[in-house]
Structure 1
Amino acid sequence: MEIFWCPPQAWWVKLNEDGCSLGNLGRTRARGIICDEQDIVVFSYRKFLGRKTNFEAVFLELIFGLEWAKELDLWKVWVECDFVAVAFLVSLKVVPWFVRQTWSSLQFYLSFIEWTVSLYREANPLANFLSKSTSRLEVSSKMVVLPPSMQAELLHDAQRRPKFHVSL
């Protein structure tokens, strides 16, 4: 199956986010990359979270991404995550206990912007790179400098070239 990274519509940004744990409990990280409708990276970040589960990492990543969107004063945000449970729970406006307080603090912002969450796994190599490097290095940073291989991935997406998903 051909998979394409789709840019957001005009005036929107896309937040591709990924959170994961090396082990379950394990060293956990969150990362995100925000691109505009012209495939230009507006912002990127990675955050080391300590020892957490995969579910905690992914949900915390969603919260961090929305907090950055608020900090950057973004008003049309398309979030793509790679964890079905997170996309489903957010669509129902249900969040787990460990993010409930932060989620509540975001509600005023979220009520005034346009935003959506969708599921997208296969074409998210930049997010995966940032996550893995964060777990290995155990560092947090914003505006991460991407290596040439990841710059090539950005170019690949900008040229609307497909990636492929093979299922047997």
Structure 2
Amino acid sequence: MGTSKKYMGITGIFEAEVEGLMEGLLRAKAMNITCLWVEFDSSSVVLAIQQRKIPWYALQRWMHLNPFLDSISWKISHNFREGNSIADYLARDAAKTGISGDNAVLPSHILDLLQRDLDGRLPFQFY
């Protein structure tokens, strides 16, 4: 699979989240994915997509992706930020460094989180 991060400069959170979704869907198309579950920590983006209220700045890409999405089994759902530490790390790293890139080298604590996810162990902490 791999990782990807994109530096977007100064932008709104909603716009950045929509951009991340579009990039991910384009990657899924390029990889010929046939079954896709998108988990997003932005409930407003999830709701907008579910209601087909695509922001104007993403509409052209959405229309390009529609035939692909119609041809596969896919869904989008909300996941709390704490449930996606890897995406959170990549977004913060791109914002701090100003560097976009693919297949980033992940620090050990993020690799541990990824392994926990692969093992089916929840990353939540209870106090």
What are the equivalent positions in structure 2 for 1:27-106 lying under 5 Å apart? Answer: 42-106=1-65
Cα distance between partner residues in 2 of 1:55 and 1:47: 15
Question: Per-residue deviation at 1:73?
Answer: 1.4
Question: Per-residue deviation at 1:87?
Answer: 0.6
Match of 1:22 in 2: none
Question: Per-residue deviation at 1:158?
Answer: 2.5
Q: Which runs of 5+ in 1 are unaligned?
A: 1-41
2:75 is equivalent to residue 116 of structure 1:
yes
Q: Which runs of 5+ in 2 are unaligned?
A: none
| Matched residues, number | 126
**Alignment RMSD:** 1.6
Letter in 1 for 2:19: L
Question: Per-residue deviation at 1:94?
Answer: 1.6
Letter in 2 for 1:50: G
Cα distance between partner residues in 2 of 1:136 and 1:110: 33
Cα distance between partner residues in 2 of 1:144 and 1:164: 24
2:96 is equivalent to residue 132 of structure 1:
no
Match of 1:20 in 2: none
Higher strand share: 1
Question: Per-residue deviation at 1:139?
Answer: 1.0
Cα distance between partner residues in 2 of 1:81 and 1:69: 15
Question: Per-residue deviation at 1:163?
Answer: 3.0
TM-score when normalising by structure 1:
0.70
TM-score when normalising by structure 2:
0.91
| Distance change in 2, residues 1:165/1:149 (3 Å) | closer
Higher helix share: 2
Q: Which 4+ runs in 1 deviate beyond 6 A?
A: none
Partner SS for 2:106: coil
Question: Per-residue deviation at 1:101?
Answer: 0.9
Match of 2:115 in 1: 155
Question: Per-residue deviation at 1:166?
Answer: 6.1
